[in-house]
Amino acid sequence: MLRISMCSRTTDRRTPRRLLAATAAFLSLSFTGAALPHSATAADAAATGSTGSTGSTGSTVRTGLTGDSVSVTPASPQVPVGVTAGVAVFDRQTGTFTEQLAPAAAFRSASVVKLLIALDFLWNRSPGSLPAADRTRLDAMLRSSQDAAANHYWSTYGGPAIVERMVTRLGLADTAPPPAGYEGYWGYTAMSARDVVTTYRHILESAPAPVRDFVMERLRQSTRCASDSFDQHFGIAGAFDRPWAVKQGWSGQYAKGNCGSVSAASVGEGDRDGDGDASVDLSRPALHTTGTVGAGDRSIVAVLTLHPDGTSYGKAYTDLGRLTRSLNVPGGTAAKGKWYGTWGQDVAVRPEPVVGGDPLTRLPAGVEVLVGCQKKGQSVSVPPYTNDWWAYLPQYGGYITNIYISHPADRLPDVPLCTNPK
């Protein structure tokens, strides 16, 4: 958060009266302020990714405003505190894994199982001969993670039998149908990171070319806003420049989706929270990023994560992003810019550095964002704060006012000025 004029951020952000004023002003600007900004220390940590992390064989302590790290043991992968992760990165060029962390651990798949649902339907079918209705369903299921499409195939083609067939066909080692009592919930299918890699290897290396092209084309065209209005461009999609292709998964007691110009949400029948006796955790918030990175789909990446109860979507999104950025992914090009934390809820990303009109989308509350450049624009006031600097977010193609960047300065000190027409 920025210091505005001569106001003291430390004092102001702890004052309930100021918070109410800020919230009212925020609403008038088509933003919704949820909380006042972090302290300067917390902001520095958010901006640099500073955290104590536990990796596959030990820990890495990251310190300093420059994001420098002191490696106590191998630094990769860096798992944020409280996060349970299964990781596998496979380099198709060398035929070796460059990262493995609990690769056989089973997680509830959430929407990642939609890969198996699509492959099962296409097993004896040519994409070129599909009825229009099925092409539409598969397109929505793979690009926008539409639950209604998954529900259709799950209920029509045998539910758990879909998973059983694909386990046999692909030789999956850790994948299993939903546990007893949850047969209708496709999101409770158990999958491991190594089985996700096996699934992508089948698509890329064994499936008929029309099936491979049909599936991968849709994963490359993943929409930022999923069908349930959650922002699904986390993990791989946030850590690396294109080319990439992704199939993501999320499940948990998250707030409603806020992606797009209008907040909305829907609950899919196959991807709910649960409890009870099951072989995989059905209750903790899950967030998964899977797909390929680099020219020729060089690397296959699978990062499956569970987060502490009560974790917000923005916090899980940020932690998964940090973990993914720590991985050794051959062929991947790290996204360029500086990472900063944000504060507030439903912060609007706008096509120009001005208030008004429909936003491009809205940020998950408290999410970390990549800032490419900054420029002056319309002055924005959220009492007691006023600022005319705006941050350009290249991955969103738009701007947010610097007021909602977790940093004490009006103008970010390590971010260049925007020199293009944007």
CB 329 within 8 A of CB 98: yes
Structure tokens at 73: 């043991």
Helices 132-143, 147-156: inter-axial angle, 10-degree rounding: 120
Helices 193-205, 209-220: inter-axial angle, 10-degree rounding: 120
Spell out the residues 6+ positions from residue 15 whose beta carbon is closer than 8 angstroms to its own: none
pLDDT tens, residue order, the chain (422 aa): 333 222 333 333 323 333 333 443 443 344 444 334 433 333 333 333 333 333 333 333 333 333 333 333 446 799 999 999 999 999 999 999 999 999 999 999 999 999 999 999 999 999 999 999 999 999 999 999 999 999 999 999 999 999 999 999 999 999 999 999 999 999 999 999 999 999 999 999 999 999 999 999 999 999 999 999 999 999 999 999 999 999 999 999 898 888 987 544 444 445 554 444 467 899 999 999 999 999 999 999 999 999 999 999 999 999 999 999 999 999 999 999 999 999 998 999 999 999 988 999 999 999 999 999 999 999 999 888 899 999 999 999 999 999 999 999 999 999 999 997 54
pTM of the model: 0.82
**Which of these, 84, 422, 5, lies nearest to 284 by C-alpha position?**
84
Query: Is residue 206 classed as helix, strand or coil in its secondary structure?
Result: coil
**Buried b / exposed e along 106-125 (16+ C-beta atoms within 10 A):** bbbbbbbbbbbbbbbbbeee
Structure tokens at 237: 């999609």
CB atoms near residue 52 (< 10 Å): 12
Burial (0-12, 13-18, 19+ Cβ within 10 Å), 287: buried
Question: Distance between CA 246 and CA 225 in Å, rounded?
Answer: 13
**Distances from the Cα of 140 to the Cα of 46, 237, 334, 370, angstroms:** 34, 18, 28, 27
CB atoms near residue 181 (< 10 Å): 12
Could you write out the DSSP letters of every residue in 104-145?
A: T--EE-GGGGHHHHHHHHTTT--GGG--HHHHHHHHHHHHS-
CB 375 within 8 A of CB 392: yes
Structure tokens at 340: 């900063």
